[in-house]
A and B are shown apart, each in its own frame.
Chain A
């Protein structure tokens, strides 16, 4: 059922939701950008509707709730382990369609990749539901249309679009119908806005011949990329992590295990025993990442990992464009195929 709300009406909805849910949404963080007096939009818990950033795309993705950048998993003593406490109160995450599609990728890796489900992920995931922020126009770097993530018709409790000073909501969760009906100006037909065209287009190759692994297209990235990993840390679909076992210094026999986000672009990611390193150059790392996002993952799970949100493009300090690389890959594949 659709509802049209005044801003005050939506504020009242948020106030009511707060009694049952924590609200996790994109927030404009003043002065917390990379450079002096610049801002960053990243996710945080909010208390009011006004704190939610509805205009700008978040620089960092919502995934920090489901897969925290740094999370203590458990504490250990010499013969016992205790899982770390987690805040398991229900949460509503406000996100856009591309990100809602990314949730499927996170679930795939943590809950449906092999026979075991990730217990730590599962316990947070079970608390999380979603609110869809509509997209009235395309963002600058996104290519969601070509990646098929531009539209979501399910998987959210309600949607919100700010149009001409009103909030338009498509309510899917039956338990919220009463609340919206009470606070809304009126009921009406509401379809969450979505974009049908991006300024960025990508052409994802259907198959990639093995010869591409040695193709010259990756070479430029060995000098351009600084291996900082921002593209992975902001990506809503990247799931790689690494472990840190920390021994408390006063004792040395007790400590904690932390799981922290990792990146296939940073130093140390492919280090193995004996001092080996599978992908030394950033060109090789770029090859691995790009092929994983738009090919290898698909071979395993049947759909591409990349949702085309474009955050990696926007955050790269070296102006490396992931979407441009997909297109370079596509051209190289076509060339390889025409050469037989």
Chain B
């Protein structure tokens, strides 16, 4: 008997179209990349009961449970309810699984909950972002990383958030050991130099990574009370023009970033290629078409940046152009 399955609906319900006919995979969303052990047990149980006993750990910090028979999707959705509640993911109807899959899982490195270099609670911000933008069918990739190391590779996302701290210097606690100078040079950008045995920071060069604070033995360097962010825009992977996201705002605040990403949805709805297959077009390609100024006009609607914030007036991307030539000879 032939199976009559609405594949479009299946995909929006966060199930994958599998190459194995009659099978699917359940795509479990884990915003911020932190999940309780109990949810992991539930995921394991679904994989054992409905799947083939294996679990894919995905690049975007979700998991995919493969080998699920299409007729078991409703049952799996019911079992997913605990995990959806536990991970705090927005839902429209209980026991029906995930309401969308276009807006991808919001990624975050472990950040300040675990990492000595993390400049803010990445998980909390990622969850807040997920609450703000999910569910939505538009294809958006947002990622958070704790510091300029960018372990979360946020520059390959439409919206990347990089944590920053503004180092605070107390010359009265500085003994001139110059460890900050050394580590800034070796582990970061070399924004510090010793002048008359005290330290001078180049504010334009400083990326706010906090390495000086981490290595200062006397607490002459401390972190700013405020947590700041660098917002980078419109990076992507893919077949046509993969590229790294470029800096848009430095010393941004949390509220502005939430608003900017939210605003971008309205922009995409207005300008997305109406012929786009399955309504999927990377934001960056739309901006390539409309021009950056139009994009900025939409995303900066009602955004009140803090005085400290620096905004780039124009962004330039390069990256690989597969659509021009692929001849490496």
Q: Indicate if the CB atoms of B214 and A228 lie closer than 8 Å.
A: no
With a cutoff of 8 Å between Cβ atoms, the chain A residues found around residue B223 in the complex are 31-32, 36
Contact present for A69 and B119 (CB under 8 Å):
no
Known: A34-B213, A69-B175, A263-B177. A246 touches B218 (CB 8 A): no
Find out whether the CB atom of B177 lies under 8 angstroms from the CB atom of A69. no
B177: nearest residue on chain A (CB-CB)?
A266
Question: Shortest CB–CB separation between residue A57 and chain B, in angstroms?
Answer: 16
| Interface contact tally, CB-CB below 8 A | 72
Across the interface, do A32 and B175 meet the contact criterion of CB distance under 8 Å? no
Nearest CB of chain B from residue A65's CB, rounded to whole Å: 12
Contact, CB under 8 Å: B116 / A246: no
Residues of B within 8 A of A32 (CB): 219, 222-223
User: Which of B31-39, B165-173, B276-284 touches A?
Assistant: B165-173
A42 at the interface (CB under 8 A from B): yes
Inter-subunit contact B165/A70 (CB<8 Å): no
Complex Cα distance A263/B179, Å? 13
List which B197-250 residues lie within 8 A (CB) of chain A: 197, 210, 213-220, 222-223, 225, 227
Name the A residues within 8 Å of B120 (CB-CB).
36
CA distance A258 to B198 in the complex (A): 11
- The residue on B at minimum CB distance from A30 is B225
In A256-271, which residues have CB < 8 Å from any B CB? 258, 260-263, 266
Question: Max chain B CB contacts within 10 Å: which of A35, A42, A229, A261?
Answer: A35
User: What residues of chain B lie closer than 8 Å to A37, measured between beta carbons?
Assistant: 112, 121
- Tally of chain A residues near chain B (CB < 8 A): 28
* B116–A244 touching, CB < 8 Å: no
| Cβ-based interface call for B88 (8 A) | no
Complex Cα spacing A32 to B168, Å: 10
Which of A188-245 touch B at CB < 8 Å? 228-230, 233, 242, 244
Residues in A whose Cβ lies below 8 Å from that of B216: 34
Per the 8 Å Cβ criterion, residues 117-153 of B in contact with A are 118-121
Cβ-defined partner of A228 (8 Å) among B119, B165, B174, B179? B179
CA distance A70 to B223 in the complex (A): 20
**Within the assembled complex, what's the spacing in Å between the Cα atoms of A318 and B3?**
61
Enumerate chain B residues within 8 angstroms of A228, measured Cβ to Cβ.
179, 215, 217
Give the docked Cα–Cα distance between A34 and B172 (Å).
17
Q: Is the CB of A68 within 8 A of B112?
A: no
Please give the distance in Å from B181's CB to the nearest CB on chain A: 12
Return the CB mask of A87-102 against B: 1 if under 8 Å, else 0.
Answer: 0000000000000000
From the candidates A29, A69, A242, A244, name the one contacting B172 in the complex (CB within 8 A).
Answer: A69
For residue A333, CB closer than 8 A to chain B, the reply is: no
Q: Which residues of chain B come closer than 8 Å to A70, judged between CB atoms?
A: 171-176
A246 touches B214 (CB 8 A): no
- B219→A42 contact, CB < 8 A: yes
Q: Is B196 in contact with chain A by the CB < 8 A criterion? A: yes
**Residues from chain A with Cβ under 8 Å of B217 in the complex:** 228-230, 233, 263
Report Cα–Cα, A263/B218, bound state, in Å: 11
Contacts of A69 in B (CB 8 A): 172-175, 218, 220
Interface of chain A residues 27 through 72 with chain B (CB within 8 A): 29, 31-32, 34-37, 40, 42, 60, 68-70
Contact status B175-A261, CB under 8 Å: yes
Contacts of A42 in B (CB 8 A): 219
Chain B residues with Cβ below 8 Å from A249 are 196
Q: Please, which residues of chain A bring their CB within 8 A of the CB of B112?
A: 35-37
CB <8 Å contact, B197 and A244: yes
- Complex Cα–Cα for A247 and B118 (A): 39
Known: A70-B174, A233-B175, A260-B176. A36 touches B119 (CB 8 A): yes
For A231, give the chain B residue with the smallest CB separation: B217
Distance A35 CA – B116 CA, assembled complex (angstroms): 6
Residues of B near A68 (CB, < 8 A) are 172
Q: How far is the CA of A317 from the CA of B96 in the complex (A)?
A: 49
The chain B residue with its CB closest to the CB of A261 is B175
Contact (Cβ within 8 A) B219 A40: yes
Q: Are B118 and A260 in contact (CB under 8 A)?
A: no
Answer whether A36 and B175 are a contact pair too, CB < 8 Å, given A60-B219, A69-B218, A244-B197.
Answer: no
Give bound CA distance, A200 to B168, whole Å.
36
Nearest residue (CB) in A for B195 is A249
Residues on B with beta carbons closer than 8 Å to the beta carbon of A266: 177, 179
| Least Cβ–Cβ distance between B325 and chain A, in angstroms | 46
Q: Chain A's nearest CB lies how many Å from the CB of B199?
A: 12
Smallest beta-carbon distance A287→chain B, Å: 20
A94 vs B112: C-alpha distance when bound (angstroms): 33
Q: Mark A66-86, 1 if CB is under 8 A from B, else 0.
A: 001110000000000000000
Instruction: Give me 9 A-to-B residue pairs in the complex whose CB atoms sit less than 8 angstroms apart, sorted by A's number.
Output: A31-B222, A32-B223, A35-B112, A35-B118, A37-B121, A60-B218, A69-B174, A246-B196, A261-B218
Closest 3 CB pairs of A and B: A36-B112, A260-B175, A244-B197
A60-B219, A68-B172 known; 18 new pairs, CB 8 Å cut-off, are A32-B219, A32-B223, A34-B116, A34-B213, A35-B118, A36-B112, A36-B119, A36-B165, A70-B172, A70-B174, A70-B175, A228-B217, A229-B217, A230-B217, A233-B175, A244-B197, A260-B197, A266-B177
